[in-house]
Protein backbone atom coordinates (compact mmCIF):
# COMPACT_ATOMS: atom_id res chain seq x y z
CA UNK A 1 0.00 0.00 0.00
CA UNK A 2 1.28 3.45 -0.90
CA UNK A 3 2.01 5.62 2.15
CA UNK A 4 -0.42 8.28 0.99
CA UNK A 5 -3.25 5.72 0.78
CA UNK A 6 -2.30 4.58 4.29
CA UNK A 7 -2.45 8.19 5.54
CA UNK A 8 -5.90 8.66 3.99
CA UNK A 9 -7.13 5.35 5.39
CA UNK A 10 -6.20 6.51 8.90
CA UNK A 11 -7.56 10.03 8.66
CA UNK A 12 -11.13 11.31 8.76
CA UNK A 13 -12.52 11.08 5.22
CA UNK A 14 -14.17 13.92 3.30
CA UNK A 15 -17.91 14.09 3.82
CA UNK A 16 -20.49 13.22 1.16
CA UNK A 17 -20.72 16.77 -0.20
CA UNK A 18 -16.95 17.06 -0.64
CA UNK A 19 -16.80 13.65 -2.31
CA UNK A 20 -19.57 14.68 -4.65
CA UNK A 21 -17.87 17.98 -5.43
CA UNK A 22 -14.55 16.23 -6.09
CA UNK A 23 -16.30 13.78 -8.37
CA UNK A 24 -18.10 16.48 -10.33
CA UNK A 25 -14.96 18.60 -10.57
CA UNK A 26 -13.08 15.64 -12.05
CA UNK A 27 -15.87 15.23 -14.60
CA UNK A 28 -15.96 18.91 -15.55
CA UNK A 29 -12.19 19.31 -15.70
CA UNK A 30 -10.80 15.87 -16.55
CA UNK A 31 -7.33 17.22 -17.29
CA UNK A 32 -7.13 19.25 -14.09
CA UNK A 33 -8.17 16.78 -11.42
CA UNK A 34 -5.26 17.80 -9.18
CA UNK A 35 -6.38 21.42 -8.93
CA UNK A 36 -8.54 20.93 -5.84
CA UNK A 37 -6.61 20.27 -2.66
CA UNK A 38 -6.02 16.61 -1.75
CA UNK A 39 -8.63 15.01 0.56
CA UNK A 40 -6.14 14.64 3.42
CA UNK A 41 -5.22 18.31 3.07
CA UNK A 42 -8.91 19.13 3.35
CA UNK A 43 -9.24 17.08 6.51
CA UNK A 44 -6.21 18.83 7.97
CA UNK A 45 -7.62 22.26 7.10
CA UNK A 46 -10.97 21.42 8.64
CA UNK A 47 -9.35 20.25 11.87
CA UNK A 48 -7.02 23.26 11.99
CA UNK A 49 -9.91 25.65 11.41
CA UNK A 50 -11.79 24.13 14.32
CA UNK A 51 -8.72 23.96 16.58
CA UNK A 52 -7.97 27.66 16.27
CA UNK A 53 -11.68 28.54 16.35
CA UNK A 54 -11.36 30.48 13.10
CA UNK A 55 -14.35 32.72 12.42
CA UNK A 56 -13.05 34.55 9.38
CA UNK A 57 -10.87 33.23 6.60
CA UNK A 58 -9.60 34.36 3.23
CA UNK A 59 -8.85 32.00 0.37
CA UNK A 60 -6.81 33.06 -2.64
CA UNK A 61 -7.47 30.60 -5.49
CA UNK A 62 -10.87 28.96 -5.22
CA UNK A 63 -11.46 26.89 -8.39
CA UNK A 64 -14.65 24.85 -7.75
CA UNK A 65 -14.66 25.45 -4.01
CA UNK A 66 -13.33 22.25 -2.40
CA UNK A 67 -10.98 23.97 0.05
CA UNK A 68 -13.51 26.73 0.74
CA UNK A 69 -15.85 24.12 2.15
CA UNK A 70 -13.07 22.68 4.29
CA UNK A 71 -12.44 26.13 5.71
CA UNK A 72 -16.01 27.28 6.10
CA UNK A 73 -17.93 23.98 6.31
CA UNK A 74 -20.66 25.52 4.22
CA UNK A 75 -22.35 24.06 1.19
CA UNK A 76 -21.80 26.68 -1.44
CA UNK A 77 -24.80 26.07 -3.67
CA UNK A 78 -26.94 23.79 -1.56
CA UNK A 79 -27.18 26.20 1.36
CA UNK A 80 -27.16 29.29 -0.82
CA UNK A 81 -23.86 30.22 0.88
CA UNK A 82 -25.73 31.36 3.95
CA UNK A 83 -23.92 34.68 3.83
CA UNK A 84 -20.76 33.01 5.08
CA UNK A 85 -18.72 32.81 1.90
CA UNK A 86 -18.20 35.91 -0.20
CA UNK A 87 -16.81 35.12 -3.64
CA UNK A 88 -14.75 37.84 -5.29
CA UNK A 89 -13.81 37.06 -8.87
CA UNK A 90 -10.87 38.92 -10.34
CA UNK A 91 -7.12 39.23 -10.12
CA UNK A 92 -6.43 38.08 -6.56
CA UNK A 93 -3.73 40.65 -5.84
CA UNK A 94 -6.14 43.51 -6.59
CA UNK A 95 -8.82 41.84 -4.48
CA UNK A 96 -6.57 41.46 -1.45
CA UNK A 97 -5.11 44.94 -1.79
CA UNK A 98 -8.62 46.39 -1.81
CA UNK A 99 -9.17 44.97 1.71
CA UNK A 100 -8.27 47.01 4.77
CA UNK A 101 -4.62 46.47 5.69
CA UNK A 102 -5.47 45.63 9.29
CA UNK A 103 -5.36 42.16 10.94
CA UNK A 104 -8.85 40.84 10.22
CA UNK A 105 -8.55 37.16 9.36
CA UNK A 106 -8.06 34.16 11.64
CA UNK A 107 -6.88 32.04 8.74
CA UNK A 108 -5.66 32.52 5.18
CA UNK A 109 -5.15 29.98 2.42
CA UNK A 110 -3.04 30.76 -0.65
CA UNK A 111 -3.62 28.46 -3.64
CA UNK A 112 -3.76 30.63 -6.79
CA UNK A 113 -1.06 31.16 -9.45
CA UNK A 114 2.29 30.12 -8.03
CA UNK A 115 4.28 33.01 -9.50
CA UNK A 116 2.16 35.30 -7.36
CA UNK A 117 2.78 33.51 -4.06
CA UNK A 118 5.32 35.96 -2.67
CA UNK A 119 3.11 38.95 -3.47
CA UNK A 120 0.03 37.26 -1.98
CA UNK A 121 2.02 36.35 1.13
CA UNK A 122 3.16 39.92 1.66
CA UNK A 123 -0.41 41.20 1.35
CA UNK A 124 -1.91 38.43 3.48
CA UNK A 125 0.48 38.35 6.48
CA UNK A 126 -0.45 41.84 7.76
CA UNK A 127 -4.15 40.97 7.40
CA UNK A 128 -3.98 37.88 9.62
CA UNK A 129 -4.34 38.38 13.36
CA UNK A 130 -1.53 37.39 15.75
CA UNK A 131 -2.01 33.70 16.54
CA UNK A 132 -3.80 33.18 13.23
CA UNK A 133 -2.78 30.68 10.58
CA UNK A 134 -1.63 30.96 6.97
CA UNK A 135 -1.68 27.91 4.70
CA UNK A 136 0.02 27.72 1.33
CA UNK A 137 -0.47 24.82 -1.09
CA UNK A 138 1.87 23.19 -3.62
CA UNK A 139 5.06 24.28 -1.90
CA UNK A 140 6.83 21.13 -3.16
CA UNK A 141 5.81 21.94 -6.74
CA UNK A 142 5.53 18.18 -7.32
CA UNK A 143 9.10 17.67 -6.10
CA UNK A 144 10.53 20.08 -8.66
CA UNK A 145 11.82 22.50 -5.99
CA UNK A 146 14.61 19.94 -5.41
CA UNK A 147 15.45 19.54 -9.09
CA UNK A 148 18.37 21.94 -9.58
CA UNK A 149 18.02 21.51 -13.33
CA UNK A 150 14.52 22.95 -13.32
CA UNK A 151 14.78 26.70 -13.75
CA UNK A 152 11.20 27.35 -14.85
CA UNK A 153 9.62 30.58 -13.68
CA UNK A 154 6.94 28.72 -11.76
CA UNK A 155 9.33 26.44 -9.87
CA UNK A 156 11.76 29.28 -9.13
CA UNK A 157 8.86 31.36 -7.79
CA UNK A 158 7.90 28.57 -5.40
CA UNK A 159 11.53 28.18 -4.27
CA UNK A 160 11.79 31.94 -3.71
CA UNK A 161 8.55 31.90 -1.78
CA UNK A 162 9.65 28.98 0.41
CA UNK A 163 12.98 30.70 1.19
CA UNK A 164 11.20 33.95 2.01
CA UNK A 165 8.57 32.34 4.26
CA UNK A 166 11.17 30.32 6.19
CA UNK A 167 13.14 33.51 6.91
CA UNK A 168 10.13 35.71 7.67
CA UNK A 169 10.35 36.89 11.30
CA UNK A 170 6.63 37.67 11.42
CA UNK A 171 5.71 33.98 11.45
CA UNK A 172 6.65 30.50 12.61
CA UNK A 173 6.63 28.10 9.68
CA UNK A 174 6.40 24.36 9.08
CA UNK A 175 6.28 22.68 5.68
CA UNK A 176 3.96 19.70 5.92
CA UNK A 177 4.38 16.77 3.49
CA UNK A 178 0.66 16.65 2.84
CA UNK A 179 -0.48 16.48 -0.75
CA UNK A 180 1.92 18.52 -2.88
CA UNK A 181 3.39 20.23 0.19
CA UNK A 182 1.28 22.35 2.49
CA UNK A 183 3.08 25.13 4.34
CA UNK A 184 1.56 26.15 7.65
CA UNK A 185 2.55 29.43 9.29
CA UNK A 186 1.46 30.92 12.58
CA UNK A 187 1.47 34.69 12.77
CA UNK A 188 3.43 35.88 15.80
C1 LIG B 1 -5.20 25.26 -7.68
S2 LIG B 1 -6.70 26.07 -8.06
C3 LIG B 1 -7.45 26.27 -6.49
C4 LIG B 1 -8.05 25.02 -5.95
C5 LIG B 1 -8.94 25.22 -4.74
N6 LIG B 1 -8.21 25.79 -3.64
C7 LIG B 1 -9.59 23.90 -4.37
O8 LIG B 1 -9.18 23.27 -3.39
O9 LIG B 1 -10.50 23.49 -5.10
C10 LIG B 1 -6.17 27.71 -8.44
C11 LIG B 1 -7.26 28.71 -8.68
O12 LIG B 1 -6.68 30.00 -8.67
C13 LIG B 1 -7.24 30.76 -9.71
N14 LIG B 1 -6.27 31.82 -10.07
C15 LIG B 1 -5.10 31.66 -10.72
N16 LIG B 1 -4.49 32.85 -10.84
C17 LIG B 1 -5.29 33.78 -10.26
C18 LIG B 1 -5.21 35.18 -10.07
N19 LIG B 1 -4.15 35.90 -10.50
N20 LIG B 1 -6.21 35.79 -9.42
C21 LIG B 1 -7.27 35.09 -8.96
N22 LIG B 1 -7.40 33.77 -9.10
C23 LIG B 1 -6.42 33.11 -9.75
C24 LIG B 1 -7.51 29.75 -10.81
O25 LIG B 1 -8.49 30.24 -11.71
C26 LIG B 1 -8.00 28.56 -10.00
O27 LIG B 1 -9.38 28.65 -9.79
Distances 57 to 54, 105, 147 between C-alpha atoms, Å: 7, 5, 34
> Sign of dihedral through CA atoms 23, 28, 31, 34?
negative
pLDDT at position 1 is 79
pLDDT at position 77 is 63
> Sign of dihedral through CA atoms 90, 158, 71, 52?
negative
Beta carbon of 132 within 6 Å of any ligand 1 atom: no
pLDDT at position 82 is 53
Beta carbon of 96 within 6 Å of any ligand 1 atom: no
Task: With beta carbons less than 8 A apart as the criterion, state whether 164 and 112 touch.
Answer: no
Beta strands in 20-139 (DSSP E): 57-60, 105-110, 128-137
Taking the centre of ligand 1 as the mean of its atom positions, its distance from the CA of residue 1, in whole angstroms, is: 32
Residue stretches of the chain with pLDDT short of 70: 32-33, 65, 69-83
pLDDT at position 180 is 96
Asked whether the whole model's pTM tops 0.85, one would answer: yes
Report the candidate in 115, 78, 73, 63 with the shortest Cα–Cα distance to residue 93. Answer: 115
β-pair partners for 176: 182
Q: What's the maximum distance between 2 C-alpha atoms anywhere in the chain?
A: 48
Question: What's 144's DSSP letter?
Answer: G
Taking the centre of ligand 1 as the mean of its atom positions, its distance from the CA of residue 112, in whole angstroms, is: 4
Taking the centre of ligand 1 as the mean of its atom positions, its distance from the CA of residue 169, in whole angstroms, is: 27
- Strand arrangement of the beta sheet that strand 182-187 belongs to: 57-60, 105-110, 128-137, 182-187, 171-176
pLDDT at position 81 is 44
CB proximity list for 72: less than 8 A, separation 6 or greater: 57, 84, 85
Pocket test of ligand 1: the residue of 18, 76, 113, 154 to mutate, having most ligand atoms within 8 Å of its CB, is 113
Beta carbon of 88 within 6 Å of any ligand 1 atom: no
pLDDT at position 74 is 45
Amino acid sequence: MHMNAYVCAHSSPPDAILRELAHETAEWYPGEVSLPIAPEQGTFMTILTRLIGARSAIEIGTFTGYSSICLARKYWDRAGLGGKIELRLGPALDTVRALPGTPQFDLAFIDADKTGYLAYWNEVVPRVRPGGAILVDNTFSHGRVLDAGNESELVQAVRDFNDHAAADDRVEVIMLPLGDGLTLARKK
